Structure 1
Amino acid sequence: MHNPSTDGNSRDNINSLNKRCIRLFGFFRRRSQSSSQNQNHSSHIESKNKPQLTSDLEKNVNTIINLMDSPSDLVTRRLQVGNYKVTLVYFDGLIDKATLNEFIIKNFQEDVSTLKNQPLSPSTSFIEYLKNEVFSAAELKTVSTLDELMLDILSGDTAVLIDGLDQGIVIGTRGWESRSIEEPITEALVRGPRDGFTENIRTNMVLIRRRIRDPNLRFESFKVGRRSKKDLVISYIAGIAHPQIIDEVIRRVETIDMDDVPETGYVEQWIEDNFLSPFPQVLNTERPDKVSAALTQGKVAIFLDGTPFALVAPLTFGETLQSPEDYYERWYIGTLIRILRYFCAFVALFLPSLYVALVSFHPGMIPSKLAFSIISTREGVPFPSLFEAFFMELTMEILREAGVRLPKPIGQTVGIVGGLVIGEAAVSAGIVSPIMVIVVAVTAISTFVIPTYSFAISIRMLRFVFLIVAGVFGFYGIILTYIAINVHMANLKSFGVPYTVPFAPSFYKDWKDLVLRAPVTFFSNRPKLMQTGDDVRMKGRK
């Protein structure tokens, strides 16, 4: 029977719940507004309390020297230009001395007669005269606070202080030694560009601009690190990248609060969604072509001064097994190589655990001839298959790390010869079986096929988890662990984008660039998963 009183009560409950939600939303909105007002008020107070430059030249110079505790590499070049006392402040080794001599000191000396007739005035007219008529440098700006002046000097610029003026001129003279553009070491390709990012953030930005000559390409600059004050740049293409992703990346970057940010790995760990997940949620790369391709798909890139590794967000599972070389070769070659990567990822993750489960719990699933061969090779081995596999995998990881840390000629020798010698010695001593050496070797080689280094490390870690559960529960443990990992990946997100997309949620049109790599002419639209502002990538194609 239909009970109208019950419907009335439910409607009353819903209305009361809606009112509570509205009041709660209003409370949080008023609280956020008040907090933002307090932040704006506090920032205004802080800006007013910042120490200002004075019109006393000697006082300004002495303040800078005392705050830095008289460093030996701080240079204060004093000049008498007509009626004016001028002091140049810079750090030796951070500036380009050719720029300093050619565009600052030389121009001062050539304009002595003109500067003698200029009235000494604290107004901005004399500052503008110097900026427009005397200095011929490309980057010029006026500063009035001591903190901003010191930050510019520490960044490699030259400060021009003039007696009688309470403002200083900062001239861009950055020119320290830097590494030249070279081929990336960790992401080598057979076919493709040979240039890679360097430790100079300006050079990295130029490498992107060379590839994307679009006026909508944006570079937003930030300072990270309370003491290091390093330059961080967020790059995206306006009109393609989704505004919510851009805002979320900027919001997370602005929350970075530490003394120093030496590498983008710190930024990655700070801004990732789930720090407990074994899977990388931000892609790191030192290839400009990889970053430019990601930008055209609607992604956001992060550059940090002092490191050749850039970050790309968001990241999905399918992209961890993709390489730029997939697109430089013909489509069927790229498809076969990509399928090979998926197979190698499966082998690298499951092969040792499958071996242990079959030998220890399910020998009936092994063909008879193969089973007899395995039994004969394991005759005399004193350890169970779990300890045998664990020992060999651990030995392989030690050799791998030793090969990475040692110098290149020695590291390659240790990795190859060490593996052969230890494997042969272990088999001869009867500690492990020959088939176990084959399993570990195939597993290690399959790991090297994975193009994303951070994802390959995740596979290596999870391999030990599968190995342990296979040794304890057999196939049941492998299946349950595999289901648990899939549940975790289905719930994992990277800046709001599901990690398993386009598998789940399914975007079938994006499957043409997932496991298979369709011909280039099929990529008429950008990936649906990014919800880009401009979907069309190729005109005249369907």
Structure 2
Amino acid sequence: MISESTLPEKPCIHLDENIHLLNELLGADISWDIIHKEFHFGGIRMYSYCINGFFYTQSLVNILKDVSRIMEEYVSEHDKIEIQKLQSYLNTHISFVQVSTASNMRDILYFILSGPIVFLFDGLQEALIIDTRVYPSRNPSEPEVERVVRGPRDGFTETMLTNTALIRRRLRDPKLRIELFRVGKRSKTDVSLLYIADITNPQLIDEIRKQIKAIDIDGIPMADGALIDYLTDQKTKWNIYPSVRLTERPDVAATALLEGQIVVIIDTTPEALILPCVFLQHVQHPDDYHLSPFAGTYFRLALLGSLIISIFLSPLWLALVGLGTALPQWLMFINPDNESQIPLTLQLLILEFGVDIFRRAVVNTPVPMASAIGFVSAVIFSQLAVKAKLFDTDVLVYTTMCAMTQYATASLELSNANRVARVFLILITGIFSVFHLGWLGFLIGIIILFIGLLRKRAFGIPYLWPLIPFNWEAFQDILFRQPFKNKAHRPSIFRPIDPTRK
């Protein structure tokens, strides 16, 4: 059985041996989408390979007509075929396609499976690559998560070329670099590393580049999830908070590049990775920059408030209820009716899991039925649960408020981490509530979360920056929507080569 590991380094000089080798390796007689055909142009015997679905048929027919004509001309002018001269001749006579050569058998195999049409010649150990590929793709559409009222509506797609073009459209900077990597022994997924050469810290670029090259796996069909696992610091990989921000918006990715961060784009993924990314950067919403500084500041502060509510409201309420009669008179209204026989901690945990199950159910429900499922789950179930005294009304109110505020965050990764943090605080507060020390459990939970955030590093950068270590200029940019003319410096924590924007 022929495998990729047993491939010879160079093609054989005899065409029939190369055909037999590639046909067996590719399963060309079994896989209907592999097109392979023999040609005779100008008395030259050659064999072609390409993948059905990676080209427009009419375009390929036109290109083959040009190749036939040009090969006839080439043979009439030259005594023998020289692959480099043939490549140059084709490049100057074929319109709108790029012609290259490959002499390594693994490269030839990669090109066949990537989409270009590959020609092997009898008597030559090099192959001719004509890039005719057009990947199946959809048009850029509005992002599903990071929606805005004002601003661009185009979002990334599953095609890497489209995604890099969307960024190039916004950054016409000759210093913008886009490096290409292949990840996965079997999947050979294309991964692009984007940075601005005279802004981004070279040490950060080298670190990310080495980590991508060091990935040793058979494939990354899950794309961004697998890559994040490999890029995340091993010391903090079990920390629930993300070191990488995923964005569907090219304007957000372009802004990150200008701040000295790195963007990673993976083929087949409609999202880009922004790294490194600290905690408070996940809170920023692209809609803020399309509002006036005053309105943007108001909504930014409201977003920070919703972040605090989504983490602490339910466990704080549980801790205060545990104080009972020790509560001040003005806080007595928070005490529940205690109509349910289920402990409050268990009620909160059941509803947290219920909300997550409901969310997954809505995602997996066909669109025409999603509204009906939402109505039944959110209205009928909640009313029946209260009437049946399964849950107290207060528990439903606080759980709903937390679920609503967590989705105010633009970063889905941060909102998911906040959900886990909230469940952890509810659990540890509930355990201590058994001994009437719920407030102590709540404080211990906060301390554990804070220590985890304090110890976490995002590619060597303190995760709580600009709060710890404190940087007033950067911190006020987090709190307040600054006018663009006042933003004179890039974030210093990324150590950019050019720290000024003007």
Task: Tell whether the structures are fold-level matches, with TM greater than 0.5.
Answer: yes
Query: Structure 2 CA distance, aligned partners of 1:344 and 1:133?
Result: 61
Check 1:500–1:133 CA distance in 2 against 1; reply closer, same or farther (3 A cut). Answer: closer
Q: 1:75 aligns to what SS in structure 2?
A: strand
2:231 counterpart residue number? 271
Q: With structure 1 as the length reference, what TM-score do the two structures score? A: 0.86
Write the distance in 2 (CA, Å) between the matches of 1:206 and 1:112: 34
CA separation in 2, counterparts of 1:499 and 1:124? 54
Partner-residue secondary structure (3-state), 2:342: coil
* 1:188 maps onto 2:147 in alignment: yes
Counterpart AA for 2:491? P
Is the contact between residue 122 and residue 166 of structure 1 (CA under 8 Å) also seen in structure 2? Answer: no
State the Cα distance separating 1:490 from its structure 2 match: 1.3
- 3-state secondary structure, aligned to 1:488: helix
CA distance in 2, matches of 1:390, 1:129: 68
User: Is the Cα contact below 8 Å between 1:507 and 1:529 reproduced in 2?
Assistant: no
Residue 146 of structure 1, CA deviation: 1.6
**Structure 1 position 82 matched with structure 2 position 82:** no
Q: The residue matched to 2:312 in structure 1 has which SS?
A: helix
2:458 counterpart of 1:494:
yes
Alpha-carbon contact 1:54-1:167 (below 8 Å) kept? no
Residue number in structure 2 paired with 1:24:
none
Do the aligned residues in 1 keep the contact of 2:50 with 2:117 (CA within 8 Å)? yes
Q: CA deviation at 1:271?
A: 0.6
Q: Match of 2:50, as an amino acid?
A: Y
Aligned to 1:298: 260
Match of 2:475 among 488, 511, 530: 511
| Number of the residue aligned with 2:435 | none
CA distance in 1, matches of 2:266, 2:175: 21
Q: Return the offset for 1:238.
A: 0.7
Query: Are 1:61 and 2:61 counterparts?
Result: no
Question: Once the two structures are superposed, what CA deviation does each residue of 1:399-426 show, in whole Å capped at 9, x if it has no partner?
Answer: 1221122123423432344122221111
Cα deviation per residue 1:112-148 (whole Å; 9 max; x = unaligned)? 6524424453544653454345443432211112211
**Cα–Cα, structure 1 residues 502 and 112, in superposed 2: closer, same or farther, change >3 Å?**
closer
Q: Tell me the amino acid that sits aligned with residue 319 of structure 2.
A: A
The 5 Å alignment of 1:213-228 reads 213-228=172-187
Equivalent position of 1:371 in the other structure: 332
Aligned ranges 1:88-237 → 2 under 5 Å: 88-103=48-63, 105-111=64-70, 113-121=72-80, 123-124=82-83, 126-128=85-87, 130-237=89-196
Distance 1:438 1:87, change over 3 A: same
C-alpha RMSD over aligned residues? 2.1
Q: Name the CA shift for 1:116/1:431 in 2 (closer, same or farther; >3 Å).
A: closer
Q: C-alpha separation between the residues in 1 aligned to 2:61 and 2:269? A: 30
For 2:220 and 2:48, locate their aligned partners in 1 and report how far apart those are by CA, in whole Å.
30
Deviates more, 1:105-114 or 1:478-487: 105-114
The corresponding residue for 2:490 is 526
Cα displacement (A) at 1:362: 4.4
- Equivalent position of 1:43 in the other structure: none
Q: Is the 8 A contact 2:321 2:334 kept in 1?
A: no
Larger radius of gyration: 1
**Hey, what does 1:480 align to over in structure 2?**
444
User: Is 1:396 aligned to 2:355, yes or no?
Assistant: yes
Residue of structure 2 aligned with 1:422, choices 377, 381, 384: 381
Q: 1:422 to 1:59 in 2, by over 3 A?
A: same
Q: What is the aligned length? A: 489
Q: Describe the shift of the 1:362–1:515 C-alpha distance in structure 2 as closer, same or farther (beyond 3 A).
A: farther
Identity over aligned pairs, percent: 29
Q: d(CA) in 1 for partners of 2:225 and 2:439?
A: 36
Q: How far does residue 326 in structure 1 lie from its aligned partner after superposition?
A: 1.1
**Distance (whole Å) between structure 1 residues aligned to residue 472 and residue 284 of structure 2:** 18
Deviations 1:335-394 (A, max 9, x none): 1111111111111111111221122234422535x636745x32x321222222222222
- Output aligned runs, 1:240-251, within 5 Å: 240-251=199-210
Shift of 1:507: 1.4
Partner residue of 2:288 out of 326, 346, 352: 326
Matched, 1:289 2:247: no
**Greater relative contact order (Cα < 8 A, sep 6+):** 2
* Deviation (angstroms), 1:222: 0.4
Q: Which residue of 1 aligns with 2:406?
A: 447
Q: Assess if the C-alpha contact under 8 Å between 1:143 and 1:168 holds in 2.
A: yes
Report the Cα distance in structure 2 between the residues aligned to 1:389 and 1:79, rounded to whole angstroms: 71
Q: Distance in 1 between matches of 2:157 and 2:84?
A: 41
State the one-letter code of the partner of 2:408: V
- Matched to 1:98, the amino acid is Q
Query: For residue 402 of structure 2, what is the amino acid of its counterpart?
Result: T
When normalised by structure 2's length, the TM-score is: 0.92
Structure 2's unaligned 5+ residue stretches are: 433-437
State the distance in 1 between where 2:334 and 2:255 align: 50
Deviation for aligned residue 1:192: 1.5
Q: Describe the SS at the equivalent of 2:172.
A: coil
Deviation at 1:524, TM superposition (A): 1.3
C-alpha change, 1:116 and 1:450, in structure 2 (3 Å) is: closer
Q: Are the equivalent residues in 1 in contact too, given 2:87–2:100 (CA < 8 A)?
A: no
Alignment partner of 1:438 out of 389, 397, 403: 397
Summarize the alignment of residues 376-387 of structure 1 with structure 2, pairs less than 5 Å apart: 377-378=337-338, 380-387=339-346
2:145–2:410 CA contact under 8 A, matched in 1 = no
Change (3 A) 1:125 1:151: closer
- 2-structure distance, mates of 1:516, 1:372: 34
Pair 1:520–1:66, CA change in 2 (3 A): same
Q: Separation in 1 of the partners of 2:94 and 2:127?
A: 13
Contact conserved, 1:140 with 1:172, CA < 8 A, in 2?
A: yes
> 1:513 is paired with a residue of what secondary structure?
helix
Q: What CA distance in whole angstroms lies between the structure 1 residues aligned with 2:333 and 2:161?
A: 64
Aligned partner letter, 2:455: N
Give 1:73 deviation, angstroms: 1.9
Cα deviation for residue 87 of structure 1 reads 2.3
SS at 1:514's partner residue?
helix
Partner Cα distance (1:458, 1:324) in 2: 20
For 2:409 and 2:288, how far apart are their aligned partners in 1? Answer: 13
Residue number in structure 2 paired with 1:12: none
Deviates more, 1:437-446 or 1:211-220: 437-446
Contact 2:83 2:101 in 1 (8 A): no
Output the CA distance in 2 between the equivalents of 1:93 and 1:400: 36
| 3-state SS of 2:192 partner | strand
1:309 aligns with 2:278: no
